[in-house]
Amino acid sequence: MSELTLRAEKLDGADELAGLRDRFVLDEGVYLDGNSLGALPANVPDHIGEVVRRQWGELRIRSWTEGGWWTAPERVGDRIAPLVGAAPGQVVVGDSTSVNVFKALVAAVRMARQDGAGERDEILVDATTFPSDGYIAQSAARMTGCALRPVTPAEVPGALTARTAAVLLNHVDYRTGRLHDLPSLTAAVHAVGAYAVWDLCHSAGALPVGLDEHGVRLAVGCTYKYLNGGPGSPAFLYVRRDVQDRFDSPLPGWNSHAEPFGMRPGYEPAAGALRGRVGTPDILSLLALEAALGVWDGVPVEAVRAKSLALTDFFLECVDAYVPAGRVESLTPAAHEERGSQVALRCPDAGEAMKRLIERGVVGDFRHPDVLRFGFTPLYVGFADADRAARVLAEVLA
C-alpha cells in the first residue's frame, strides 16, 4: 500500500463525519458529482411514498391545511436557514434558481431606485457566471432599462459607481471552484448604494455562508447539489428581514398575496419572506427536500467545511503524486479562503477522460471545453474515495 493510501485509511478512521455516509443510498463507486446532483438520502423514498399514499391519496385537498402543504415553502426555508447563516423568517423555497435570480435581481434594481440617490441604471454581472444567471441578467437589464456590464468578481470594487443598481455574483465559481470574498464584496456593493445578489448554488451545504452576519440582503441557491434535495428540487430565496417590506417582486403571484384566498383583483403583498413566492408550490419535490434535509440533523456546517478542505487538499496531493507531471493543471485555488468544495482540473482530453473515469466507477463531470470537475460532498465522500479517484485518474490518463 502506498503511503497515501495508508494515510487515507487513518484519516477516514479519525473522521467524525464518516458515519453520515450511511444516511445515503450509494454503491461501491466513488461519487464526486454531488455538486451537480446530490446523492439520495436513505429516508426519502419511504417518506415520499407516505406523502403520496396518505397525504395525496387519502387526505387529498385537506393536506393543504392539515398536512402543512400550504406553509411548506417557509417551513422548509427555515430548515435551510441555519445552513446559510440566516435567522428564521428570511428564506422561502420554490421555483428554480434561475427564476429566483430573476426575482432577486429585478427587486434589487427596484429597491436601489426607491432608495433615491442617483440614476441607478447599471447592473454588474459576474462575467464568469453560470450561463443561466447571465441570460437572466440580460433580460432583467432590458426590462429595467439598465445597461449590463460583465466584470470578474475581482473587478467589482473598481467597477462600482453611483449608477450601479445591482450586482449579481456567485459565491463559488461553478467551473473552477474558486470561492469569492462574500463579506468584502457585499460591503463594497452596499457602500455605493447598490444591492448585491448572491448565487449560493455551489456553497449552500458545502461551507458556512453567514448571510445575516455579513449583511447580505438578497441571495438565491439551489437545493439539489450540496443539499441533496433531488433532481429539480425547488431553489431558495433569502430576503433579509430589513428589506422585506420593500421587496417588490416582479412575479407577484397569488401565493405571495396578503390574503391569497381573498381572490382579489388587486395585488397586495404578504409580509415577510413569503413575498418571494409565486404560484402553487411543487409539493412532492418540496417534501422530498424537507426529508432530505434531515441528514443535517446534528451536523454543524463548520465541521463539513473542515472536512471539505482536508478532502480537497488530500485529493490534490494524490493527483500530484499519481498523475504524470504536466498532464493536468489545477484550476482550483490552493489557498483555503479561495476554495469551494470541488477540484477542477484542466486537461486537453477532459471529455474522453471523464467518460473512462465513469466507466471505472469514478463519477465526476466534464465542463466544456477542457475541465474535469470533482465535487466533494463531505457528508458521504471519504479520504479513501479521494485516493482511489486520483489513482484511477492517473491510470486513465497514462
Ligand X SMILES: *Cc1c(COP(=O)(O)O)cnc(C)c1O
How many Å apart are CA 151 and CA 145, to the nearest integer? 19
Per CB under 6 A, contacts with ligand X among 198-237 are: 199, 201-202, 222, 235
Examine residue 98 and tell whether it contacts ligand X (CB under 6 A): yes
Residue of 181, 183, 156, 177 whose CA lies nearest to 168: 156
- Which lies closer to ligand X via its Cβ, residue 5 or residue 96? 96
> How many residues in the shown chain lie near ligand X by CB under 6 A?
13
Examine residue 96 and tell whether it contacts ligand X (CB under 6 A): yes
358 grid coordinates: 465513469
* Cα–Cα separations (whole angstroms), residue 280 to 91, 95, 277, 394: 17, 10, 9, 49
Least distance between ligand X and beta carbon 329 (Å): 22
Examine residue 180 and tell whether it contacts ligand X (CB under 6 A): no
Select from 10-18, 76-84, 183-191, 194-202 the region that touches ligand X (CB under 6 A). 194-202
Contact 55/41 with Cβ under 8 angstroms?
no
Contact 61/271 with Cβ under 8 angstroms?
no
Examine residue 132 and tell whether it contacts ligand X (CB under 6 A): yes
Contact 217/246 with Cβ under 8 angstroms?
no
Please identify which residue in the block is written with the cell numbers 489545477. 330
The strand order across the sheet containing 365-367 reads 329-330, 342-346, 371-375, 365-367
- Which lies closer to ligand X via its Cβ, residue 202 or residue 240? 202
Binding mask 261-300 for ligand X (x = CB under 6 A): ----------------------------------------
Examine residue 107 and tell whether it contacts ligand X (CB under 6 A): no
Least distance between ligand X and beta carbon 105 (Å): 12
Select from 91-99, 261-269, 308-316, 338-346 the region that touches ligand X (CB under 6 A). 91-99
Contact 370/356 with Cβ under 8 angstroms?
no
> How many distinct helices (H) and strands (E) make up the chain?
11, 15
Examine residue 108 and tell whether it contacts ligand X (CB under 6 A): no
Residue of 250, 306, 302 whose CA lies nearest to 276: 250
Contact 389/360 with Cβ under 8 angstroms?
no
Contact 34/389 with Cβ under 8 angstroms?
no
- Which lies closer to ligand X via its Cβ, residue 20 or residue 84? 84
Select from 1-9, 52-60, 94-102, 190-198 the region that touches ligand X (CB under 6 A). 94-102
Select from 60-68, 195-203, 338-346, 378-386 the region that touches ligand X (CB under 6 A). 195-203
Examine residue 33 and tell whether it contacts ligand X (CB under 6 A): no
Examine residue 341 and tell whether it contacts ligand X (CB under 6 A): no
Residue 365: its H or E element: strand 365-367
Examine residue 365 and tell whether it contacts ligand X (CB under 6 A): no
Least distance between ligand X and beta carbon 312 (Å): 18
Task: Write out the catalytic residue numbers.
Answer: 130, 199, 224-225, 373
362 grid coordinates: 469514478
How many Å apart are CA 140 and CA 148, to the nearest integer? 9
Examine residue 128 and tell whether it contacts ligand X (CB under 6 A): no
Select from 15-23, 90-98, 268-276, 368-376 the region that touches ligand X (CB under 6 A). 90-98
388 grid coordinates: 482511489
Select from 197-205, 270-278, 327-335, 384-392 the region that touches ligand X (CB under 6 A). 197-205
Contact 233/283 with Cβ under 8 angstroms?
no
Beta-bridge mates of residue 344: 373
Binding mask 140-179 for ligand X (x = CB under 6 A): ------------------------------x---x-----
Least distance between ligand X and beta carbon 154 (Å): 17
Contacts 24+ apart (CB under 8 A), 262-265: none
Examine residue 332 and tell whether it contacts ligand X (CB under 6 A): no
- Which lies closer to ligand X via its Cβ, residue 167 or residue 393? 167
Contact 173/135 with Cβ under 8 angstroms?
no
Q: Contact residues for ligand X (CB under 6 A)?
A: 96-98, 130, 132-133, 170, 174, 199, 201-202, 222, 235
